[in-house]
Chains A and B, each alone.
Chain A
Amino acid sequence: MEKSIETIWKEGFLRNDLTVAPKINNLYNQKSRNIIDRIKGMMRVNLIALVMFSVVIVVWWYFLGVLYLGILVAVLLNVFAYYMKLQMEGMKELDHGACSYDYLKAFNNWLEDSIDNNVKIMRVFYPVMFLCAIATIWFSNDNATVLKELFSRHFPQMILWGDIAVVVLAVVVFVALAMAFFAGRIYRWDVNLVYGRVFRKLKEIMADMEELRS
């Protein structure tokens, strides 16, 4: 006679040999690996995008008639990409044999150091990029002639320094200096736009692990 499913179930689990202790320290292993792999992947994509964008810029700026500025921007982007790549090499020095929490903590420290280092670069990078963008507007094609005419027609009393209105120059310099001053905030906002979600997840996992260890 065939057994009922209830009998199969009861007999199957009579010995109750299923009890395996959930290993607390292992609970987050997979999650830690996933989140770090995800951040590394995003950084790699970001790096490739930066290099590809620099190529597009050169072509684009060529058609705007300011190839030399395009090359300058592309060089800046590639220098930054190379600097980021060098920083990413530092990730290899992290102890992969460490437990999840220690590895996550080391990774987080590396991340914070990288952001701090990048902020220093950004103090120069942002203003230079801004000046390049303004120079592009001014020098590309016939913009300079058109803008000069526009200014002289609407603001005839404006004081000029060479061909450029002093007040415009002052605003540009002010914005460039402000960008250098607020580089930290701008960069962190910029990073948050791209990596915000995964960074929050990383912090969440670390907080959970700290609570588990307490």
Chain B
Amino acid sequence: MSSDSYTSSILPYAPIIIKICRAYTNSEEDFEDYYQEVCLQIWKSHKSFSKQSQWSTWIYRVALNVCLTLLKKSKQHQQRFASDQLPAEFSEKNRAFQGESVNQLYLAIRQLSEVDRGVILLYLEEKSYQEIADITGTNTNNIGVRIKRIKERLKKTLDGKVN
């Protein structure tokens, strides 16, 4: 894949990658590292794309896998969960996006488990239960129950914070 084809292949999916990386990082520095690593891995492993799924689904899968791996590595180094470092309150530092509500939503998403973060992101990106199950390696029934539980938890966390 040349530089040009790389850019044209990745660029349309940059928003997806950004949304996923934001859910797994708490600082701008971490976000940039995760974002770069995801782009690199997509570029390096694009040959393994089998075309059995959509290109976007494959990008989701790579992005989630890279983020989970990096998170695991950083946990091993820091010996604590990333969510332990989460600020309890919303602050300017967490304002990754323009709207305040979506920043609050992200703050709530970051408090979920790693897998739940991936599942809810895919759900919000309007991926089908089947696609989510394929990406996360589980079944559609499990996804349905899980999404219901995550939504309840997010609603509880956001209660009164957004309108």
The answer to whether A and B belong to the same complex is yes
0/1 interface trace, chain B 12-53, chain A, CB 8 Å (1 if under): 001100110000000000000101100110011000000000
- Residue of chain B at shortest CB distance from A22: B39
Q: Are the C-beta atoms of B10 and A3 separated by less than 8 Å?
A: no
Q: How far is the CB of A15 from chain B (nearest CB, A)?
A: 7
Q: Are the C-beta atoms of A21 and B15 separated by less than 8 Å?
A: no
Query: Which residues between 1 and 59 of chain A lie within 8 Å of chain B, taking CB atoms?
Result: 2-3, 5-6, 8-9, 11-13, 15-22, 24, 26-28, 30-31
- Residue of chain A at shortest CB distance from B124: A9
Q: Are the C-beta atoms of B102 and A3 separated by less than 8 Å?
A: no
How many residues of chain A are within 8 Å of chain B by beta carbon?
Answer: 27
Point out the residue from A18, A31, A214 that lies within 8 Å of B15, measured CB to CB.
Answer: A18
**With A and B bound together, what is the CA distance between A18 and B15 in angstroms?**
5
**With A and B bound together, what is the CA distance between A61 and B33 in angstroms?**
51
Q: Are the C-beta atoms of B98 and A27 separated by less than 8 Å?
A: no
Q: How far is the CB of A198 from chain B (nearest CB, A)?
A: 17
Q: Are the C-beta atoms of B15 and A13 separated by less than 8 Å?
A: yes
Q: How far is the CB of B77 from chain A (nearest CB, A)?
A: 14
0/1 interface trace, chain A 203-214, chain B, CB 8 Å (1 if under): 000001000111
Q: From B18, B99, B158, name the one whose CB has the most chain A CB atoms within 10 angstroms.
A: B99
Q: Given A12-B105, A27-B36, is A21 in contact with B7 using a C-beta cutoff of 8 Å?
A: yes
Q: How far is the CB of B14 from chain A (nearest CB, A)?
A: 5
Residues of B near A22 (CB, < 8 A) are: 7, 10-11, 14, 35-36, 39
Q: How far is the CB of B47 from chain A (nearest CB, A)?
A: 12
- Residue of chain B at shortest CB distance from A14: B99
Point out the residue from B11, B18, B98, B159 that lies within 8 Å of A15, measured CB to CB.
Answer: B98
Q: Are the C-beta atoms of B158 and A5 separated by less than 8 Å?
A: yes
Q: Are the C-beta atoms of A24 and B98 separated by less than 8 Å?
A: no
Q: Are the C-beta atoms of A30 and B36 separated by less than 8 Å?
A: yes
- Residue of chain A at shortest CB distance from B22: A18
- Residue of chain B at shortest CB distance from A25: B3
Interchain residue pairs with CB less than 8 A apart (25): A2-B159, A2-B162, A5-B120, A8-B99, A8-B104, A8-B105, A8-B158, A12-B101, A12-B105, A13-B19, A13-B102, A16-B15, A18-B15, A18-B19, A21-B11, A22-B10, A22-B14, A22-B36, A22-B39, A24-B3, A24-B7, A26-B36, A27-B43, A30-B33, A213-B3
Known: A22-B36, A208-B44. 8 other contacts (CB 8 A): A5-B124, A5-B154, A5-B158, A12-B101, A13-B19, A18-B18, A18-B97, A31-B40
**Chain A residues with a Cβ under 8 A of chain B:** 2-3, 5-6, 8-9, 11-13, 15-22, 24, 26-28, 30-31, 208, 212-214
**Chain B residues with a Cβ under 8 A of chain A:** 2-3, 6-7, 10-11, 14-15, 18-19, 33, 35-36, 39-40, 43-44, 97-99, 101-102, 104-105, 120, 124, 151, 154-155, 158-159, 162-163
Q: Which 9 A-B pairs have the closest CB atoms?
A: A12-B102, A18-B15, A9-B124, A12-B99, A22-B39, A8-B101, A18-B18, A8-B105, A24-B3
